[in-house]
Amino acid sequence: MAPPNRRPDNAPQVPKPYEFVEFPPNAPTLTSPAGHHKYLKNRIHGILHLQLTVETALHISTGTVMMGRDLGQSKIPLIKTMQTGNEKLTIPGSSLKGVVRSIYEAITNSTLAVVTNRYKDKMPRNRLPCGSKEKLCPASRVFGALDWQGLISFQDARCVKKGFAPGFMPSLYRPRPDQRRKYFNPVSRKFYYHAIKAVAGGEKGIPTQQAAAQYTFETQLQFMNLTQAELGALLASLGQDKDYPFSLKVGAGKPIGMGTMTVKITQIQRTDSMRDRYSDYNTEPPSLTGSELQTFIKQAIAAAHQQKLLELPQLKQLQKILAYPTNREAPAGMY
């Protein structure tokens, strides 16, 4: 009998549920960020209102396991929980920011956000995290780096309705970059494919608190001092480029098809003049919706392409991986 973490030699080959997006050939350009000291007149500030729809079961663990009966599930002994507020499932803003940042890094010429000491010597020096807030790559200028807060912030996303769906997540194996040279040759970023549906069973695992398909979450993304191209790259990272649309992979269980979410921007509130905002009784900044919103998004993404902030080969690779809907089946066993 083969060891539990090793595929038998005669086992059929199962397609990997992930693929890699290669780094651009040139080193990232490092410049100083815009800063937080004031709202710059030649930059864009505002709030994106996002609607996130679950397509395949979603679970983001709190690390806490509770008695099923304490969550109204008397037939389930133990359940691994998600974050909740007012009986509504919640996706931490930090989780969403991490997902979108990894995409932004991949489709712009950026460094990695984090590299553990174990793998630093295997990475090109120009892809190691930025070490000075005066010399930042495109992603670090927007999302933050050491001693630099960044120019955007994600609020926690709350489910529109109360309750949850009990589900089951099989035990998963840890990534093994040591055993696969492709992790480092060529150097690249790893992304999981979407699947038609998530694998629901298995021999080992634990029941989980989940957001089922078609659960809807709402959140806001606040930004300041972005160029039009930076905002366009951010919108493209949310899957809003009509030529290269895709969905996000969020939370646990990505190898078995979990965590697919589609993104819709419902409105953008723009703050063009801070003086006018604080001298007006109307405290809400003007909103863009409908055709005006779509024109604004299209123009911003076009600026990101025209100014070469978006790396087209990497964007095409990523869109091929994260395209949704899909006909791909998630692997039920070892892969």
pLDDT (average), residues 290-295: 97
Task: Read off the pLDDT of residues 25-59 as tens digits, 9 standing for 90 and up.
Answer: 999 999 999 988 889 999 999 999 999 999 999 99
* Single-letter amino acid code for the residue at 316: K
* SS3 readout for 116-128: CHHHHHHCCHHHC
Task: Read off the pLDDT of residues 74-106 as tens digits, 9 standing for 90 and up.
Answer: 888 889 999 998 899 999 999 999 999 999 999
Q: What angle do CA 48, 50, 55 make, to 5 degrees?
A: 155
Task: Read off the pLDDT of residues 108-137 as tens digits, 9 standing for 90 and up.
Answer: 999 999 888 887 888 888 999 998 989 999
* SS3 readout for 228-267: HHHHHHHHHHCCCCCCCCCCEECCCCHHHCCCEEEEEEEE
Handedness of CA 104, 302, 192, 177 (dihedral sign): negative
* Burial class, 143, CB count within 10 angstroms (exposed 0-12 / middle 13-18 / buried 19+): buried
pLDDT the model gives residue 131:
87
pLDDT at 21 over 50: yes
More confident residue, 285 or 54: 54
Contacts of 314 (CB under 8 A, 6+ apart): 21, 22, 24, 106, 107
* Pair 238, 231: CB distance under 8 Å: no
